[in-house]
Amino acid sequence: MTKHLDRTEIGLLIALPILILVAFALPKWIVNYVHVSMGTGLVALGVMIQMRAGLVSFGQGLYFCVGGYAAGMMAKFLGITDFFVLLASGIVAALVLSGVLGFLLRRYREIFYAMLTLAVSMILFGLLSSTEELGSTDGFNLPTPSYLGWSPEGETSRLTLYTLTCFIAIGCAIALNRFLKSPIGYVNEAIRENELRVEYLGTSARQAIHITYTLAAAVSAIGGVLWALPLGHVDPEMTNWTTSGQFVFVSILSGTGNIVAPLIGTFILEIVRVYAVEISPNTWQMILGTVMLLTIIFLPKGLWSLLAKKKKLDTSASQNAPAAGE
């Protein structure tokens, strides 16, 4: 079976038990950061697969928020607390919304794509901020999830949720890795290089982008649910464009060379943020901006390109990776 898996997938499968064991070995606060950054990491993955097609989504927070709110509303209004139902409702909501919006967005490229995804996410931001039933700008709380009728409490609940999150996050990463190597994954790279020729070759660029957009939306919604459940809270800030900007930041910083890069990048960012905010709260964004500028100028293919160069393995991976925004 292993011969069907590539290096990245084997690495992810090896990482899975380690990730789960970490929950028992490391202090609780680090585990919490790992847990939360798996959720946001999936959204960064959503940004990254679109970047492979040369499209920068400045509104990926939309689906992050849709996932979280869909799960939250199921719990709030229907009283459902089952983890799998909540997850499914997040995915379905994102699929429906992105399926419809995709018809509009697939017509746009470059800055228009970036800015329209941003605008769409801000519509939701405006909508949620003024909806009293959903707590306006404060958002609302989510219950502790149950699992197919089993409702653990306290520490067991936390560990169950963590373990499931690990499985789902790794599963999504492997699925997306497969997607990048699928025909549509390669069509996306061709679109980035030259869209007109893709059309001459008889493939619909718009369709490929539509599919990629919907997939990115579904993954981001999963991320939203997985992020909201451990925190037990959702608010409109999830879809504000500054949140989406951070996902773009992670994708730029870590690069699009490998599916693992955004996941690790998100975790590092979360940890750095904890210390940076503590030491000097008013320079956090400045640090982000400076690092982003330096990355764009000196490492256009992200930090992952350093790793890929050093190991000199699978040269195609680093060559295929697009530089930021190209």
Let me know: does 261 contact 303? Beta carbons within 8 Å: yes
- Binding of other proteins at residue 204 (CB under 8 A)? no
Q: Which of 241, 294, 230, 226 is nearest to 90 (CA)?
A: 226
Q: Which is nearer to other proteins, 128 or 168 (CB)?
A: 128
Minimum CB–partner distance for residue 144 and other proteins (Å): 32
99 alpha-carbon distance from chain centroid: 18
- In sequence order, what are the beta bridge partners of 141? 233
Choose, by CB under 8 A, the member of 16, 65, 87, 120 that binds other proteins. 120
Q: Is 97 in the site for other proteins (CB under 8 A)?
A: no
The minimum distance between CB 315 and other proteins, in angstroms, equals 24
CA-closest candidate to residue 175, choices 3, 9, 7? 9
Whole-number Å distance between alpha carbons of 80 and 72:
9
Q: Which is nearer to other proteins, 124 or 225 (CB)?
A: 124
By CB under 8 A, residue 285 contacts other proteins: yes
- What number of CA atoms fall less than 13 Å from residue 163's CA on the CB side? 10
Other CB atoms within a 10 A radius of the CB of residue 50 amount to 25
Output the CA torsion 152→155→161→165 (10° steps).
-160
Q: How far is the CB of 105 from other proteins (least distance, A)?
A: 10
Site string for other proteins, 23-62 (x = CB under 8 A): -------------------------------x-x-x----
Nearer to other proteins, 145 or 322 (CB): 322
> Are the CB atoms for 39 and 226 separated by under 8 Å?
yes
CA distance 152 to 174: 29
d(CA 126, CA 120): 10
User: Position 304: which residue type?
Assistant: W
Q: Which residues pair with 150 in a beta bridge?
A: 147
Nearer to other proteins, 112 or 150 (CB): 112
Range 57-86, binding other proteins (CB under 8 A):
58
At 165, the amino acid letter reads T
Residue from 108, 140, 147, 186 that binds other proteins (CB under 8 A)?
A: 108
Residues 150-189, mask of contacts with other proteins (x by CB under 8 A): ----------------------------------------
Residues 233-252 that bind other proteins (CB under 8 A): 240-242, 245, 248, 252
State in angstroms the smallest separation of the CB of 239 from other proteins: 11
The answer to whether the CB of 179 falls within 8 A of the CB of 42 is: no
Residues 6+ apart with CB under 8 A from 315: 308
Amino acid at 259: I
Among 21, 277, 293, 313, binds other proteins (CB under 8 A): 293
CB of 40 to other proteins, least distance (A): 18
Q: How far is the CB of 244 from other proteins (least distance, A)?
A: 10
CB of 51 to other proteins, least distance (A): 9
* In the complex, minimum distance from the CB of residue 301 to other proteins, in angstroms, rounded to a whole number: 13
212, 48 contact by CB (below 8 A): no
Query: Contact with other proteins (CB under 8 A): which of 290, 309, 311, 313?
Result: 290
190-228 burial: b if 16+ Cβ within 10 Å, else e:
bbbeebeebeeeebebbebbbbbbbbbbbbbbbbbbbbb
Residues that bind other proteins (CB under 8 A): 54, 56, 58, 104, 107-108, 110-112, 114-116, 118-120, 122-127, 129-131, 196, 240-242, 245, 248, 252, 282-286, 288-290, 292-293, 296-297, 323-326
